Structure 1
Amino acid sequence: MTDTILEMRGITKTFPGVKALEDVNLKVKEGEIHALMGENGAGKSTLMKVLSGVYPYGSYNGDILFDNDICKFKDIKDSEKLGIVIIHQELALIPQLSIAENIFLGNERGRRGIVNWNETIVKTRELLNKVGLNESPDSIISSHGVGKQQLVEIAKALSKEVKLLILDEPTAALNEEDSDNLLNLLLELKKQGLTAIIISHKLNEIVKVADSITILRDGKTIETLDVQQDNITEDRIIKGMVGRDLTQRYPAREPKIGGTIFEVKNWHVFHPEQVGRKVIDDVNFHIRAGEIVGIAGLMGAGRTELAMSIFGKSYGTKISGKVIKNGKEVQLNTITKAIDEGIAYVTEDRKHYGLILLDDIKRNISLASLNKLSRNLVIDENREITEAENFRKAMNIKTPSILQKTGNLSGGNQQKVVLSKWILSGPDILILDEPTRGIDVGAKYEIYTIIHQLAAEGKGILIISSELPEILGMCDRIYVMSEGRMTGEVDGKEATQETLMKYMTKSRG
């Protein structure tokens, strides 16, 4: 494992008003798993898009050497011809097509424009076997969970005779079990000689699988670490990423908790498509002023469905139960009514449901508060600009202008825009669904600090998170869900991962 398969020299990439990469260097050895780490906006994804031809030769400065040959990729097909395949954070699968059709889309098995379906099915089975999936090649991709879809993406990459596999946040949307399966698959593929570059913010995963780690900060190469020789710890990686020690992952806080301001009683929700299937079954919980309450649970426990059904009944059918705010029952039949009643919901999927990526930061921040910013149905643009600029500074959103397209921001900065949007609406209750998913440790700390500030103002906070350390580190009180029911309630000071996991795996019995 001494031969260098990839070298990137002096890579510089500039967007209007922003230098995303500046003289970046990267060396990857054949047969290793090489981690690329850094805060959101450090340039990791940009560097991989340069490597894979998403940003073509001529749009950046510097050289790419693969197998000792200089590469000038015009597009992604050029890089794939040499065996460089990238799997982006947003899966590139077509939900309505089968597994086999997705794997060989654009790379069909056949001759003269006619697909050889027998060969396609046989090859698909071989590839699925390689990635440990025992599914029918004919099954529709949308019928499978995100974990299995991620493995299909890897099978698709293997169908292209991949030499260097690039994975951008491959476990961001996966639960712990699916993440472990994927990481173990990577280690198995490494034994078979595959070289991989992995981008991830989950430090424990990187320490588990990586041989080397290159850290970027502010678009520059900081250092490359040998995981085994340098005896790398999570704290050592954090220091390289943020330029300082983070002695505490969660900011210190002295909670000042008042009386109950929000209650949900006897809440029932049925599936919107599967008639008769109850998704939420007799759920009860409450939040007090200044309190940070957590909801833990495995994937499919019903946490997001619960949050969305409360927030304007945006999920489910035949919803029943009571929502009580400040001692009075409220009707939250639409999202507009929920906002008017002082409820905010930060979705787990900011790209699809939280933001308009094609619009600017200013417009995204004002979206939930147009009534407040308008007079006689006309938006006060000066006030809109002032509010957006205030949030840009207060939230430390890294951007040259509030007129920049939101889709150009890093994940952490996009999340700050979503939070800004809802804070501007003036809520009393904030439901935060996976508030730090896909965000680096530095940006996480900033968002945790914002959450603490909101709680200190007397707001009620509900955090839904798949990361148990986050739930334990942030919450005053924790509810646990399993199969659509509340199975436990634990004081934050007394909670442990073992206690929560016991409740999370409790079945209906």
Structure 2
Amino acid sequence: MEYVLEMQNICKSFPGVVALDGAELKVRKGEVHALMGENGAGKSTLIKVLGGIYHAEKGDIYIDGKKVTVDSVIQAERLGISIIHQEISLVNNMTIAENIYLGREPQGKSGLYSGRQTVKQAREILKEMNLESLDPERLVGTLSIAQMQMVEIVRAVSKDPKIIVMDEPTASLTDREVDSLFACIEKLKKKGVAIIYVSHRMNEVFHISDMVTVFRDSKYIGTKAIGETTPDDIIKMMVGRELTDLYAGEIQYGTTDIFEVKNLKNKYLKDVSFAVKKGEVFGISGLVGARRTELARAIFGIDKLDSGTILLEGKKVNPRNTKEAIERGISLVPEDRKKEGLILAQTVKFNMSIAVLDKFIHGVNENQKAEEAFVEENIKLLSIKTPGTGQTVKNLSGGNQQKVVISKWLATKPRVLILDEPTRGVDVGAKAEIYGVINDIAKQGVAVIMISSDLPEVINMSSRIAVMHEGRLVKILDSKTDDITQTNIMFYATGGKK
């Protein structure tokens, strides 16, 4: 089978960072080729070089055996390259159909733009991808994140490309939508389309891929056929060492109840009550639409409560806003670190100290020496990989960005720390480090509430797991007394009752 794509000796640097150092990738027609590596390994940079967003300082790209220059996104699309990035890039005030064909609008018999033809073609391709439930005339701004992700995928497929790159395509999808995506991938394979599949989810890679290429520290490590390797082999290639204890040891059970919510109600929540112990990791699980994030937002004072009580050490603390929540000892690491957790254009130092900046200001003067020492200490404490405190956060890997967010909120010395999807989009090595940090936080007596869609994660990290369904807390499973399995959690998450 001939290679549809060859990337040879690709090198790319940014100020203070070598992003790619002799990277290689070869992909055949009709092949699903997984691209794996820790955050910061160079995967996203390679994709952006292929997509014409970045220009490599060195290296060659061949399409169908012919050397090409990819100097723009338009040029990449002309060469048959279509990329689905992690970040949603749809226009909210346009319809699904208009977004799918944006910039290449279908024409009617008159040769002019035809809205009717656009809707017709969009309806056909949505049906082809088993997404008939999406109305092509619906505004994108009314969709969920998962639905937006599916529209991004449909838009890429509609360009009839030779090569499709999918960068963490299932991060926001439900199991049903993942099945639809995999069915679409099988159809594309049969058409001879090459698919580069970037994911941290090992089970997906082994389910859908034919080959896997691994990067580490900006370098090409190797390529293997999926049938000739194992998850442990790939992990060792990714991190350069064995990773035998991913979940960092013992579950943290805690001591006495320190935090309690009683009968929380608003337009999303329906009479939610639970208590968390001091030093406990308390998990919250559920499917898309379970309102787990909305629960976190209500506790943190972002969303207004219609009724209910929030208690800390037996005292009512109902925060009216985030400032009050922080003052009362509650902090939240949000689900979307890029939009809600970080100021990407600012430095590591700025982001890490912004929540406690008052500690370093005396009158009109800022004690920059003390602030610098504080930031350097936290970089060391959380093993954040950065050239220095002045590095712009957007240039860090996803795992290191997440550690900066966690560090920012740990600086507030919370008694209750809510972590909403703390390892989403984070590689296996960084996951192990974050799990260690979470356990250390709990050992210090902090009540940790961990919201997670990763069932093995929530099972292995939590002493108890609250399962939510459509705004209700339907069951609390205790690891000491209950049979906590993925099947049991899914039973309650889908509305089951016993």
Please indicate the TM-score interval, normalised by the length of the shorter structure. over 0.9
Change (3 A) 1:107 1:161: same
Q: Which residue pairs with 2:222 in the alignment? A: 223
Aligned residue number for residue 285 of structure 1:
274
Match in the other structure for 1:302 = 291
Please give the secondary structure, in 2, of the residue aligned with 1:443. helix
Aligned partners of 2:139 and 2:453: how far apart in 1? 27
Aligned to 1:276: none
- Using the TM superposition, give the Cα deviation of residue 379 of structure 1 relative to its aligned residue in structure 2, in angstroms: 3.4
- Structure 1 position 254, deviation (Å): 6.0
User: 1:339 is matched with which residue?
Assistant: 326
Q: Indicate the residue corresponding to 2:235 in structure 1.
A: 238
Q: Indicate the larger mover: 211-220 or 98-107.
A: 98-107
In the alignment, the residues of structure 1 paired with residue 125 and residue 459 of structure 2 have an alpha-carbon distance, to the nearest angstrom, of 40
Contact 1:175/1:466 (<8 A) preserved: no
Distance 1:14 1:442, change over 3 A: same
Q: Give the Å deviation of 1:148.
A: 2.9
Deviation at 1:318, TM superposition (A): 4.6
- Equivalents in 2 of 1:486, 1:474: separation in Å? 19
Q: Closer, same or farther in 2 for the Cα pair 1:256/1:102, shift >3 Å?
A: closer
Once residues 65 and 25 of structure 1 are traced to their aligned partners in structure 2, the CA distance between those partners, rounded to angstroms, is 12
1:389/1:402 contact within 8 Å kept: yes
Counterpart position of 2:182: 183
Which residue in 2 is equivalent to 1:489?
476
CA distance in 2, matches of 1:46, 1:348: 23
Aligned to 2:269, the other structure's residue is in SS state strand
Q: Matches of 1:76 and 1:235 in 2, distance apart?
A: 36
Quick check: 1:86–1:167 contact (8 Å CA) kept in 2?
yes
Work out whether residues 8 and 25 of structure 2, in 8 Å CA contact, stay in contact via their aligned partners in 1: yes
Q: Distance in 1 between matches of 2:458 and 2:296?
A: 16
5+ unaligned residues in a row in structure 2: which ranges?
none
CA shift, 1:136, in A, is 2.6
Q: Equivalents in 1 of 2:42, 2:213: separation in Å?
A: 12
One-letter code of the match for 1:109?
P
Secondary structure (helix, strand or coil) at the match of 2:45 reads: helix
Q: Which residue of 2 aligns with 1:89?
A: 86
What is the aligned partner in structure 2 of residue 376 from structure 1? 363
In structure 1, what is the equivalent of residue 311 of structure 2?
Answer: 324
> C-alpha deviations, 1:132-161, integer Å up to 9, x for none?
211332111223333332232222122322
Q: Secondary structure at the match of 2:123?
A: helix
Q: Judge which range, 297-306 or 133-142, deviates more.
A: 133-142
Aligned with 2:159: secondary structure?
coil
State the shift of 1:258 in Å: 1.7
Secondary structure, in 3 states, of the residue corresponding to 1:387?
A: helix
Q: Which runs of 5+ in 1 are unaligned?
A: 271-278
Q: State the SS of the aligned residue for 1:173.
A: coil
How far, CA to CA, are the matches of 1:360 and 1:285 in structure 2?
A: 38
Q: Which residue of 2 aligns with 1:126?
A: 124
For residues 256 and 144 of structure 1, the distance between their equivalents in structure 2, rounded to whole angstroms, comes to 38
Alpha carbons of structure 1 residues 377 and 297: separation in structure 2 relative to 1, 3 Å = farther
Q: What is residue 273 of structure 1 aligned with on the other side?
A: none
Matched residue type, 1:495: I
Match of residue 500, structure 1, among 478, 489, 492: 489
1:477: which partner in 2? 464
Distance 1:196 1:282, change over 3 A: same
2:181 is equivalent to residue 194 of structure 1: no
Partner SS, residue 359 of structure 2: coil
The structural deviation recorded for 1:508 is 9.2
Output one character per residue of 1:282-328: Cα deviation in whole Å (capped at 9) or x when no partner: 1111111111000111111111001101102x12x453111111121
Alignment partner of 1:356 is 2:343? yes
Alpha-carbon contact 1:168-1:198 (below 8 Å) kept: yes
Q: Distance in 2 between matches of 1:416 and 1:387?
A: 15
Q: Which residue of 2 aligns with 1:275?
A: none
Please tell me the residue identity of whatever aligns with 1:167: M
Structure 2 residue aligned with 1:432, among 401, 419, 435? 419
Q: Give the Å deviation of 1:113.
A: 9.0
Quote how far apart the aligned CAs of 1:420 are.
0.6
**1:169-219 CA deviation, whole Å, 9 max, x = no partner?**
101122333223212321222122221001000110000000000000001
| Conserved 8 A contact 1:257-1:288 | yes
Q: Tell me what 2:50 maps to.
A: 51
Helix, strand or coil: the match of 1:189? Answer: helix
Answer with 464-473 or 233-242: which moved more.
Answer: 233-242
Amino acid at match of 1:260: D
- Once the two structures are superposed, residues 346-404 of structure 1 have per-residue CA deviations (whole angstroms, 9 ceiling, x without a partner) of 00000000000011110100121122232236432222211111111111111101111
Matched residue SS, 1:282: strand
- Aligned with 1:437: secondary structure? coil
The answer to which of 155-164 and 344-353 deviates more is: 155-164
Q: In the alignment, what sits opposite 1:73? A: 70
Q: Distance in 1 between matches of 2:115 and 2:58?
A: 44
> What residue number does 1:102 align with?
99
RMSD over aligned Cα, in angstroms? 1.7
373-382 or 123-132, which moves further after superposition? Answer: 373-382
Give the Å deviation of 1:496. Answer: 1.2
TM-score (norm 2): 0.96
**What's 1:265 paired with?**
262
Tell me the CA shift for residue 102 of structure 1.
0.2
Kindly indicate whether the alpha-carbon contact (under 8 Å) linking 1:103 and 1:153 is maintained by their aligned counterparts in 2.
yes
Equivalent pair of 2:251/2:460 in contact (CA under 8 Å)? no
How many angstroms apart in 1 are the aligned matches of 2:49 and 2:141? Answer: 30
What secondary structure does 1:458 align onto?
A: coil
CA contact (8 A) 1:131 1:154 kept: no
SS at match of 1:416: helix
Deviations 1:102-123 (A, max 9, x none): 0111112238994122332222
CA contact (8 A) 2:356 2:412 kept: yes
Contact 1:483–1:508 at 8 Å: present in 2 too? no
> What's the % identity of the aligned pairs?
45
Matched, 1:170 2:157: no
